[in-house]
């Protein structure tokens, strides 16, 4: 559920209100009961919290990682294990 910003047109009080997207906008200021207007917000970035979300999950893949063979220090090539993720 999003948090909406409101500004009173009478006393210029700015406040936030947590409500569902389907709720009607507030109409009265909690300070002076004047008319309020919902402000347009830029929002915040999407944040993943909890286990299983890593920065490397969304990193750009290096073109060298896509190859099926990888060089070793001796110059010999050995097969690279394929990922089992689906």
Structure tokens at 67: 């190859």
Burial category of 15 from C-beta neighbours within 10 Å (exposed 0-12, middle 13-18, buried 19 and up): middle
- pTM for this model (two decimals): 0.49
Query: pLDDT tens string for the chain (86 positions)?
Result: 788 999 999 999 999 999 888 999 999 999 999 999 999 876 666 666 666 666 666 656 665 555 555 555 555 566 666 666 65
């Amino acid at each position: 559920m999003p948090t909406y910003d409101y500004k009173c047109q009478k006393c210029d009080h700015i406040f936030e209100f947590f409500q569902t997207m389907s709720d009607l906008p507030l109409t009265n200021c909690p300070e002076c009961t004047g008319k309020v207007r919902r402000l347009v917000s830029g929002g915040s970035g999407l944040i993943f919290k909890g286990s299983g979300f890593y920065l490397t999950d969304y990193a750009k893949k290096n073109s060298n990682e896509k190859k099926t063979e990888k060089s070793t220090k001796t110059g010999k090539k050995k097969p690279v294990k394929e990922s089992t993720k689906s």
